[in-house]
Structure 1
């Protein structure tokens, strides 16, 4: 299969299906013919303004602006420049850092975005972009050229810019495929923010899949379920926090979900009880868990929920591979926990302007996932924990994923996040932040967990919160929860 570029994919599909509606949001729609025309207008405008091939251009668009963002993104790429997708949910200081770190020479931003005060040679609002005249296609980039720098969620430190070439983003795509993904659906629905890996995956679904993208700027369980019912949505994509809200609210029972053939969850592992709840609430749907990272994408593992292996993260697909290595760099046998690596099926990614980190994470086509896990005898991967989240408590190691899964079994616990806190005897001890239907005492929680977890795995402290703090990608930011206990200790 010959490598291709993102502009070539869009041009080929727009020529074949110009009237296909690729993106729908509220009253705004984007068909492929219009997408292609706006892409070329933006590309020509950028070139005329002095943007050169290989230069980086930031894209700051709010959750309401997916149609404008889609055109800006492909326009930047068609100009041969490198797109830097940003989220309006990020703090101003983070946006400034990303623009400066990426070396962005330009910034395109939407009507609901407030651009940060940072020096760029070119800064266009959405009205300036929309006013660009139609133009003929440019020669464009090559498959090996850089296409985007996407910043990681930064849950364990400062965000890192991950560079992807066109050949990486288009791996497995064909200019004229005999069958397109999501062929069972007329539309797929999501509520992921721009500037995240999950959001980029949805953008490429809109570009390539049979189904058109239906996107909502805000996630509310009833609003989301109502969209599914009204539009007879066939494919639905969520993060675990959204899945929990859909189940907790009863929205899946209040609305007609019979159109849903696929529900996919990404960004973090679904707690087994949540996956089982989705399967019961959506008996006609296939429940799928996706496992990847900003560094490893577009390679991913997938698993269809099965009651006899509810916690499995699946097997890798599309030509990639998974390995679990011990500390000596040797493959671990089934049942033995080690470090998870994923092999990219095509062109691997790298960190922007950070060769040391690139050498540490990317090796010979393999990507270090930062997770600990193991294979079962059938080759299914199970996640034990984020390597940085494992709690070393005395002589034991505690998996926060296992403790969180046990807490989710409690009928009055809606969400749970587990992390380590300093302990004068053990060094570190588990603690938990809970979103619950009523205040629970530590004794109640520990009695419930007594038959589910070993003593050293049980939380030594708990706190209650109205909601768990999350980043733009939907992942829990645990250092903010640790600060709650620090404040309690100092009060």
Structure 2
């Protein structure tokens, strides 16, 4: 079934006009009819400003503005234009780069924010037209969204997605997450995970609930007060929740599915979540902005520590060489995924080697066992080449997380005059943990060449807007240490 995002909203508003689609805690709920009406007003306002089919329009919003953002996103698409979701937390230089890179004609932004400075700009309330225009529906194959990557390995890249890609799998009679009346998340605007929650608000059974700013206490209170059946977060949030002891202070028994996305979930963290959420299935989702909606899903299984699961819903995953030649089970190589939907691409770079014959090069190294379970070895750029050995930072991190004092940890490579590179670990701890004490703990868990030569303790690890650890910042700070 080939649908468009405006069609999804129009159909849902007709079928369930008073149903609650989205709740930003502390604000009035947004119903499907209200969402459709607001999007229609914004679409007319955009056309009145001269926005035409295929024009790119930046959307600059913060997490307190999810309802306005949702209306603006669907309004841009209803006008036949292309939405470019952007977080209000971006540095001005990065925001300007992204708007200029995609050739945005202008931007819609939250009230109270400075105008982005590229083309025209307006808040959603300023996009009102005296005339109601006849606007032709976009086609499923039309470009709908350009979403910029986090840029953890270089300059952010704009990933293009069509309506057919965004709406893939939507519109079924049995709506996703039917076990829940409320789905709670804290993903930020401008991320692939955040966009997945926006589509869930359009298509899934439960009302999608979020909050302006994540703190462990507020998030746990939100889950408890709404008796949420489904919760989505990133590993960094899970670690904060556990460290705050929310399982002892909040009733989280309503949660039947807890999904973690954006980064691998360490086994020690997943196991601790099973105690804090006693009735929940702990699930790790693995995908990328480039590969979505292809993904693997892993329900936590202590017998398969470190696995990110198997491909689902018509998607495929394989291990291959750099040129895409498949490798047999058990061999380590590059991870490639294939989406069952219309594939994505880099905006302005259709010939990128990341996309090949429908397959997407994930930038990760991994292996697949005989039963089809995928195990990540490392990010391709994060593997530490120390002397004659290659060290997986994911493997090192899994071992460090087993120490009961460790709250969060990241392993990365730093220069060495003889070996070329050696392993370094940055960590945050509950109580003081000396580097030598950590090395003694790791001695039986890691090979000699995997043991960290440098250990530093921080109050918290640096993270980007998507919640991923910024290893470039860690390397730079470690390299400055005399």
Corresponding residue number in structure 2 for 1:404: 397
Residue 27 of structure 1: CA displacement? 2.1
Cα pair 2:229 2:256 within 8 Å, conserved: yes
2:340 to 320, 339, 345: 345
Question: Which residue, 121, 124, 127 being the options, matches 2:125?
Answer: 127
Match of residue 145, structure 2, among 148, 152, 174 = 148
| Secondary structure at the counterpart of residue 336 of structure 2 | strand
Identify the residue that residue 452 of structure 2 maps to in structure 1.
Answer: 459
2:469 aligned residue (442, 453, 476): 476
Taking the TM superposition and a 5 Å limit, the aligned residue runs for 1:151-230 are: 151-174=148-171, 177-230=172-225
1:233-382 pair list within 5 angstroms:
233-326=228-321, 329-357=324-352, 360-382=353-375
> 2: distance between equivalents of 1:134 and 1:197?
35
Deviation string for 1:167-222 (max 9, x for gaps)? 11111122xx2210010000101111100101000000000000011011211111
CA distance in 1, matches of 2:145, 2:322: 33
The answer on whether the counterparts of 1:185 and 1:211 sit within 8 Å (CA) in structure 2 is: yes
Aligned CA distance change for structure 1 residues 363 and 329 (closer, same or farther; 3 Å): closer
Task: Report if the CA contact (8 A) 1:17-1:32 is conserved.
Answer: yes
Q: Check whether the contact 1:40–1:136 (CA below 8 A) recurs between aligned residues.
A: no
Unpaired runs of 5+ in structure 1? none
Task: Tell me the distance in 1 between the aligned counterparts of 2:96 and 2:189.
Answer: 17
Matches within 5 A, 1:2-151: 3-25=2-24, 26-116=26-116, 118-120=117-119, 122-129=120-127, 131=128, 135=132, 138-151=135-148
> How far 1:152 sits from its partner (Å)?
0.2
Structure 2 Cα separation of the partners of residues 486 and 133 of structure 1? 59
TM score, norm. by length of structure 1: 0.96
Alpha carbons 2:252, 2:278 under 8 Å: kept: no
1:355 Cα deviation (Å)?
A: 3.2
Distance 2:179 2:45 in 1: 38
Q: Which runs of 5+ in 2 are unaligned?
A: none
TM superposition score normalised by structure 2: 0.97
Number of matched pairs: 481
Aligned to 2:383: 390
CA change 1:101–1:328 in 2 (3 A) is closer
Q: 1:59–1:108: 8 Å Cα contact kept in structure 2?
A: yes
Contact kept, 8 Å, 1:296 with 1:344, in 2: the verdict is yes
1:383 and 1:94 mapped to 2: Cα distance?
30
User: Over residues 314-351 of structure 1, what are the superposed CA-to-partner deviations in whole Å (9 max), with x where a residue is unaligned?
Assistant: 11111110000135743222222110000011110000
Aligned residues of 2:259 and 2:283 also touching (Cα < 8 A): yes
Q: Identify if the C-alpha distance between structure 1 residues 195 and 157 changes in structure 2 by more than 3 Å, giving closer, same or farther.
A: same
Q: Shift of residue 248 of structure 1?
A: 1.2
Are the equivalent residues in 1 in contact too, given 2:42–2:124 (CA < 8 A)?
A: no
RMSD: 1.4
